Copies of this chain bind each other. A is one copy, B any other.
């Protein structure tokens, strides 16, 4: 570990935290000083016995140290004590909503910057973050919130069209997964559950980053664990062709085109590609089906897939660089992508 690299702690080793911790380890301009959690979960065990082997473990709160130790974990210290040492530059907080609010008080007291996740209320941080759209805004603040998976995918695709062509009005129709693969207690098993107010919270959440975008979102939940899927229509400011839109998507980082014709014709089929290629079958890219990109009368249509567990991972890494002024936007995106194997 180079002494002058930024020292990062990830608090909360669940779906997001374990991935971000692993991703921090893969960067060469920051160090994963340690991870923190409160309970001896399977996620914690599988990762400390796997890709996070050798990583220091801290207990998020002082009075849970014993729980972890009794379950066989070696605990270095509690997190507040660690933060007191002045060694830590930034905490990535991936704890559940409401817990993160309480944690923020601790970080504030200790004078350590922190990144929060999209499950938190937007008010937790002055900046809601997407690397492409507003990287620069994170440099001036102590708290940043990386927006949720669905919002990240909408922001990437709509920002690319808006900055290249102009978007007059966008409507996103979201088909969301019921739960992540190991979340056995979540449903539905055989039902479609609509969000019965329009817009769903996703549209306004995009507007936290792109305040001038006219966007409305509708959302439903379905019995699948692998991915979300969005059907989008966007009225564009100029007359463009379908090839223009494809070209813009192609050149935008973290948007990736897939050809259904090659056999990648469902969420499971695209996921299967990454089962063959990446640990956890992570897909931080938004996957757009090439054949679904259409333009008619200035309205662009497309369908994209969102891997809910990993799409926000590179955004967290970029947010770290942005907040600690380690690199500018394009350099950070390039570094993150290279280190995570994103083309």
Contacts and interface: CB of A to CB of B under 8 A. Distances in A.
Interface of A: 18, 40-43, 45-47, 49-51, 71, 171, 173, 175, 178-179, 181-194, 196-198, 216, 218, 220, 222-227, 229, 231, 233, 260, 262-269, 271-273, 275-281, 289, 291-292, 294, 296, 299, 301, 303, 305
Nearest to A22: B276
A67 to B, nearest CB: 13
B188 A42 contact: no
Given A185-B188, A189-B190, A220-B303, A276 B46 contact: yes
B268 A275 contact: no
Contact of A175 (B71, B181, B192, B267): B192
Contacts of A179: 187, 189
Nearest to A197: B291
Contact of A233 (B40, B171, B262, B266): B171
Nearest to A275: B280
Contacts of A45: 262-263, 273
A99 B272 CA distance: 24
Contacts of A266: 182, 184, 188, 191-194
A276 B18 contact: yes
Contacts of A223: 189-190, 222-224
Nearest to A176: B192
16 contacts: A42-B262, A43-B276, A46-B276, A50-B276, A175-B222, A179-B189, A181-B268, A184-B187, A186-B187, A191-B267, A191-B268, A192-B226, A194-B231, A233-B233, A278-B279, A281-B281
A46 B273 contact: yes
A184 B191 CA distance: 7
Contact of A231 (B41, B218, B289): B218
A260 B194 CA distance: 9
B275 A40 contact: no
A43 B194 CA distance: 19
A196 B265 contact: yes
